[in-house]
Amino acid sequence: MSGRSGRALAKSEALICGSITVSMNVQENIQFDQRAFRDAMGCFASAVTVISTTTEDGKAVGTTVNSFNSVSLDPPLVLFCLGREATNYDHFMASGRFAVNILRQDQDHISNGFASDGANFFQTLEAETSSLGNPLIPDTLATFDCKIEATHDGGDHIILIGRVNELRHDPDGDPLVYYRGRYSAVAAKS
């Protein structure tokens, strides 16, 4: 990070923004084990999705993902992160499109099915096909039918940004949530 003068902040230097002072301890070589990183990230509850597309010969494929997010309202953009070693990586990159299927609270079996066999699990479902040609999981909480707008390097993942072509959602349902390495539920506050 640099200040107005363009110089880098030194170790343990204070950054003053308006009336707020933030102390920063800058480390050049941050090192911690991957398990600790995963455990810390597990503190962020997220909805569980299945991202789907088709192979070149039209076979429906999908993968369970919890790294999904909105990017922009105008234009409507969403993103998800796909591991470079994912079984269906090449299919997502070649298709130019994908659908996001946000799972309902009682659809953990679908999440597990795509996590273990994303290349074949669609054969166990009565899937619909979107206007872009993406397979859609029946009775999900929401779906977003997308064309790939851009891709970005994300370390051992690729970040795919999609322009939403069509969407649908159930305003009354509850999502399947993943929190601290296990499925969880949304609890309404009274």
CATH of the domain at 122: 2.30.110.10
Neighbours of 14 (CB within 10 A): 9
Query: Is residue 4 situated within a structural domain?
Result: no
Q: In terms of Cα–Cα distance, which of 125, 169, 122, 161 is closest to 144?
A: 169
In a domain, 90, yes or no: yes
- pLDDT on residue 31: 76
Q: Is residue 68 part of a domain?
A: yes
- Please, are residues 132 and 167 in contact by the beta-carbon 8 Å criterion? no
Specify if 62 maps to a domain. yes
Residue 164 resides in a domain: yes
- pLDDT of 31-82, one tens digit each? 778 888 777 767 667 889 999 999 999 999 999 998 999 999 999 999 999 9
Total domains, the chain = 1
38-52, 100-114, 133-147 — which is least confidently predicted? Answer: 38-52
Classify residue 71: in a domain, yes or no.
yes
The pTM for the full model equals: 0.80
The answer to whether position 189 is within a domain reads no
The tens digit of pLDDT for each residue in 118-129 reads 889 999 999 999
Q: Is residue 8 predicted with pLDDT exceeding 50?
A: no
Is the pLDDT higher at 22 or at 153? 153
CB 98 within 8 A of CB 53: yes
Q: Which helix (H) or strand (E) holds 70?
A: strand 68-72
- Within a domain: residue 153? yes
The 10s digit of each residue's pLDDT in 81-105 is 999 999 999 999 999 999 999 999 9
Domain residues for 164? 37-181
